Chains A and B, each alone.
Chain A
Amino acid sequence: MRRFATERAKRLLLASRSPPSAFLCSSPAAAMDPAAGVVTVDTINPKVLKCEYAVRGEIVSHAQRLQQELQNKPGFHPFDEILYCNIGNPQSLGQPPVTFFREVLALCDHPPLLDKSETHALFSADAIARAWQILDVIPGRATGAYSHSQGIKGLRDAIAAGIADRDGFPANPDDIFLTDGASPAVHMMMQLLTRSEKDGILCPIPQYPLYSASIALHGGSLVPYYLDESTGWGLEISELKKQLEDARSKGITVRALVVINPGNPTGQVLAEENQREIVNFCKNQGLVLLADEVYQENIYVDDKKFNSFKKITRSMGYGDDDIPLVSFQSVSKGYYGECGKRGGYMEVTGFNAEVREQIYKVASVNLCSNISGQILASLVMNPPNVGDESYESFSAEKNAILSSLARRAKALEDAFNSLEGVTCNKAEGAMYLFPRLRLPQKAISAAKAVNAAPDAFYARRLLDATGIVVVPGSGFGQVPGTWHVRCTILPQEDKIPAIISRLKAFHEAFMEEFHD
């Protein structure tokens, strides 16, 4: 109504005004709407509307409202702080940054410090030496300049050396593209691979919703394969095959397989044998293997070890000509948890020069990724070595963080498993637990009554009662009829007991309320 009134006012005001432009527009939506040119939710890119990202969805907006209320009206809620277990953001929950990395970054941010003798009183000698080493590979030592669009060459050399140390197989610095966190790298690959909705990407379910969001944004089709909860979120080749065939029978050209290892939200670490099967599957089916390996440092069990897909392919004797493989890494995870820096890279192997040029071109439109993040990516792939001045303090910091994460993972897993109707697989790696909730029928009906998915209903009740923010499993995908939540293991250790007791009290009350 108001729109038509203003439309009329406009026309009266400006007699010279041309007739509504939109009748010449060819899209049907535009043709009906005299204001088609302008940006309304009805006239924006429909791919944008389709895209969803639950990790920062409605539940988080609600948590932010509650936090505001806590500030304005202390005591208004039955808890005194919001515990954000929705997102893998360790430093926001009190995890300290690794000192050595930050020393080097500070020196690179303000190089005149390196000329002052007082600096030696405040910074470790190896941090100073490393800062020099890094500045020397940056043209003009200019940390404020745009770099090569793939990232500073000298830093890519360092990262390639770090990868070679990790895998025991060489890495080529020209294969490395530094990005503002791993997410833009994933977007770039989706953009490159997706021509239309007939192009499909095989993604695990449950999955990290970056993938579903990115596929939706780029107009492709997500082809799901289900991880088997009963075998610790196992990845079965037979399931991959079944889903691939099914998608192909629908006319979908499946272009790539996404594997998240260690798993997000599911926390499993793939066994080497399983990885080989996956590699052979991709090779035989002509799929690009997109390996999300951002949790490679987050392993909490002794009987599992992280193996990069690069190492697996090379140890199988496959080289660049055999399989296209993209490995994503980030500074946001691991023991470093430097989310705010937006540092990351992808190592792109098995692509021909023509295709690589296209990736480079797309990277160049955005000029380059942030330099601080680039430097940090080179540091996490080359931490201090035995004998360096910082080595001991660095190792102590690293081990403290990783062993504490392992303890927290275990404590929360046990807590979830102690709840009525809840089962929870072990977090072998990554930063999350993904417990399954067997909800009473009454709770499911109550959820339906308010038009909510049962797990979203549970998560909302949990937040309102305890201030704990978790993400409903429906945001990640799950076997229909099963319900989960994702909870990070990141709250500081001294808070874990209180979280567990609040969680237990809530769950008991919830089950009591909705008992069938």
Chain B
Amino acid sequence: MLGVGGADGRRETRGRERDCVALSSFPLPSVLPLKCNETTEWNKERFSGIGGEGSPSGMAPKPLDYESLNENVKKVAYAVRGELYLRASELQKEGKKIIFTNVGNPHALGQKPLTFPRQVVALCQAPFLLDDPNVELLFPADAIDRAKHYLSLTSGGLGAYSDSRGLPGIRKEIAEFIGRRDGYPSDPELIYLTDGASKGVMQILNTIIRSENDGILVPVPQYPLYSATISLYGGSLVPYYLEEEANWGLDINHIHQSVAAARMKGICVRALVIINPGNPTGQCLSEANLRELLKFCFQENIVLLADEVYQQNIYQNERPFISARKILLDMGPPISTEVQLVSFHTVSKGYWGECGQRGGYFEMTNLPAKTVDEIYKVASVSLSPNVPGQIFLGLMVNPPKPGDISYLRFAAESNAILESLKRRAHIMTDGFNSCRNVVCNFTEGAMYSFPQIRLPPKAIEAAKRAGKAPDVFYCLKLVEATGISTVPGSGFGQKEGVFHLRTTILPAEEEMPAIMDSFKKFNDEFMEQYEDYRGYSRM
């Protein structure tokens, strides 16, 4: 029995009409209503061009006017690289020193890459070095061994497409890492490698969203990748608010209310996104919280999408990182066997910060095999994730071990980064909390600080006059005065009348005190200018 049968057989019969394309993947609709709308008007003008070789080109409207673009594309907003970023880039061109704290991009702010993984990948890039007797002058023996190991996992080195899901050997190493982390074995067949975690999120949301009636529960404040992707694929974002007063905690009752409200509007809620540790909010979810969430997903038949890209970035001891998958499996059947979960991870964060490599993966739990196959098919259209990024992932889940030549150096480098991040998290939170009309939760994890700015009514009026959202107004003034480029809270979502900004905690530690001083000075002057003692925005 030929497995290729069904689809091709159908093609054959359909293919008789030559006008209709002979591929089953894109049938033209047989009946196409002709409505008199903008599009067909536009069409008529096109018709006049047919056959007329020399028709004057000046008459034809532009084929790609803004008006005729995909509406979903236009709806997308992505604040991390939005108005503030563009203004900061302009100021930089004018010669102003800009401190880019808008993107979690550690190497751009001076964090040095870890030495060992770079040595391994450099050797994989230039495999001819491995045959050179001088190679040991430049590279330690364990990097050489590791490069040989990873090259043996490829099918033709870094220059060959891999399996569309990623190299099987790397997926096996990731599965072993997940098994060690969670205490439950993981299946490499359910791990798909991607060009960064964002691509994985986009792929999964594209699989889930069918129309604007499909809703995705997203925390607010959220990382705008989610809102942007949901717009792009034409779904509906169903917000649930995190509680700033409770250290950005998650209240399950609010989620229930959000779901009920969405369903009243006819929205089918299909997935719940959690970001743990939180971006931009920096909180770490407790085990009890995760259990409630999983129970909720079970009760409501909702897929859990767990963005766990900051799992290495933890700056306190009370709430260590626990994966949603571990809790899911701890809970036992039927939850452990029924709740569908997709977890995301990356090489861009942690103490690695290798954003430019675009390496990431997602792991699927309890997804039916047929769905997994569909996701594979879509992945295969883009052929394969980049192979150097895959090797970085392998290295991330298998760093040097005690006793390896490179271990001490690797441990020293990675600890220095994490310790410094922890100190910077404190400097930043304390700095913000010492400012007038600013309150800030501690960054328990991730890479961001998300202070609330209590803007005086006068400032809000001034913003209105300038045609800006109040937090955008504040952040623009901030970057103009100090060069500190942040992202206004409105890009992440916030309760009405409450204003925030997001900064990363990534500027170099030695520069941190000066940055906080310059922020404080700006904020004092700003508040001085606009404060009139008639009251503040809420909280």
Contacts and interface: CB of A to CB of B under 8 A. Distances in A.
B263 A53 contact: no
Contact of A340 (B103, B121, B334, B387): B387
B386 A6 contact: no
Contacts of B23: 52, 205, 209, 212, 222, 474, 477
A231 interface: no
Contacts of B288: none
A351 B126 contact: no
B358 to A, nearest CB: 4
B481 interface: no
Interface stretch (A238-246, A398-406, A508-516): A238-246
Contact of B50 (A50, A181, A215, A241): A241
B377 A53 contact: yes
Interface in A326-341: 332, 336-341
Contacts of A364: 78, 80-81
A68 to B, nearest CB: 11
B529 interface: no
B26 A50 contact: yes
A1 interface: no
Interface in A428-477: 447-448, 450-457, 459-460, 472, 474, 477
By CB atoms of chain A within 10 A, which of B26, B128, B229 has the most? B26
Interface in A280-305: 280, 283-288
Nearest to A13: B334
Interface in A127-178: 139-140, 142-147, 149
Contacts of B76: 361-362, 365
A227 interface: no
B356 A144 contact: yes
A53 B196 CA distance: 23
Assign chain A's interface to a size class. 35 or more
Contact of B137 (A121, A213, A256, A454): A121
Interface in A86-114: 87, 89-94, 97, 99, 102-103, 105-107, 109-110, 112-113
A146 B78 contact: no
A334 to B, nearest CB: 12
A24 B266 contact: yes
Contacts of B132: 122
A82 to B, nearest CB: 11
Nearest to A448: B9
Contact of A251 (B33, B159, B303): B33
Contacts of B55: 284
B370 interface: yes
A173 B435 CA distance: 43
Contacts of B105: 145-146
B78 A112 contact: no
A217 B125 contact: no
B95 interface: no
Contacts of B51: 241
23 contacts: A21-B269, A24-B264, A27-B268, A53-B377, A62-B3, A92-B155, A106-B122, A106-B123, A122-B129, A213-B25, A248-B43, A324-B62, A324-B64, A339-B384, A340-B154, A340-B156, A341-B387, A350-B64, A365-B229, A369-B358, A451-B5, A477-B22, A481-B15
Q: Which are the 5 A-B pairs with shortest beta-carbon distances?
A: A453-B8, A25-B268, A340-B387, A451-B5, A480-B15
